[in-house]
Amino acid sequence: MTLYPLKFTPIIKDYLWGGSRLKEVLHKEVSTDTAAESWEVSGVDDNVSIVKEGSLKGKDLRWLIQHFKGDLLGHRVYKKFGNDFPVLVKFIDAERDLSVQLHPNDELAKKRHNSFGKTEMWYIMQAEADARLIIGFNKNLTPEEFKSRLKEGSLMQLLNCEKVVPGDTFYIHTGRVHAIGSGILLAEIQQTSNITYRIFDYNRKDKDGNTRESHTELAMEAIDYSCEDDFRIAYDQDPDRVNQMVDCPYFITNYLHITRPLQMEVSQRDSFHIYICTEGEAVFVTSSGRYPLSMGETLLVPACIGAFEIRGTEAKFLEVHL
């Protein structure tokens, strides 16, 4: 079997805060009235992505890594991560506010959950007027003050809110409290992890009348109590070139605005590439064929495909690699 650019069947997740945009805007196959997340490329246990089309249809990502190794991931990446796929890509539709939460770092996640930590980034695709995110605190805190304010119900007064518009990009390191606000559709790139510590959920109940579990005690050791404003990412948006957005130890994300055919030579990176279409449509042309990609779709280009062309007249992508 020969590798080619791969699309995977989205893994749809529904939570009490999900909406209708994954179905109505991104054209996902959703069987429920609402949907919260579409996992586009995942190596998370029990949620491993399955190839959607082509000669490898039906094979899962773990099988692909075991059989193709460095040809799929990049030899440098395979040497570091082995059979573990290092990133998770999602679309998230927040019809209602998400809980205030955070994620542990690599060391704590390994110790407690035998997992990677969860550093992540968000790219805002759509946002209603006055839509906001919660990111970090608005003052430096001590663990004692945090716990006291949480207990007395005044934690929200300490949280930093950021108004958002489409194109805004945010980097959330482990330990930073955060929440996606209502009225936002975004793309998320993160480490491969499903470990979340929920600290506040607005005292709301699910459809069965139950409040959701909180993880305050687990969170206490993981929280970054400092007040920092380094989360909003400024980046160039020049057309028909690679514009760097985030370069961190866990992933590199670039912004591409395609207005004409663009030749891509990426072999020197020795890495897989994921292309997330956030607007418009284009065709990826390789020696093995043509692979169209539209808004709301994601394509994994194996590392062994070091050169290809992107053909489109008005399309926007996030490019992810290691």
pLDDT at position 104 over 90 = yes
Count Cβ neighbours within 10 Å for each residue of 171-204 and write b for 16 or more, e otherwise. bbbbbbbbbbbebbbbbbbbbbbbbebbbbbeee
State yes or no: 178 annotated in a binding site.
yes
Q: Which of 21, 132, 176, 198 is catalytic?
A: 198
54-63: long-range pairs with CB below 8 Å, 24+: 54/4, 54/6, 55/1, 55/2, 55/4, 56/1, 56/3, 56/4, 56/6, 61/8, 61/85
Q: How far apart are CA 205 and CA 178, in angstroms?
A: 20
Write the burial class of residue 210 (CB in 10 Å: 0-12 exposed, 13-18 middle, 19+ buried): exposed
State yes or no: 103 annotated in a binding site.
yes
Mean pLDDT to the nearest integer, 26-54: 96
- The CATH code of the domain at 11-220 is 2.60.120.10
Q: In CATH terms, are 11-220 and 243-321 the same topology? A: yes
Three-state SS string over 188-218 comes to EEEECCCCCEEEECCCCECCCCCECCCCHHH
Q: How far apart are CA 310 and CA 316, in angstroms?
A: 11
Name the pLDDT band for 320 (thresholds 50, 70, 90).
very high
Mean pLDDT to the nearest integer, 245-260: 98
| pTM summary value | 0.96
- The CATH code of the domain at 243-321 is 2.60.120.10
Mean pLDDT to the nearest integer, 176-196: 97
- Is 198 known to be catalytic? yes
Domain ranges of the chain: 11-220, 243-321
pLDDT at position 126 over 90 = yes
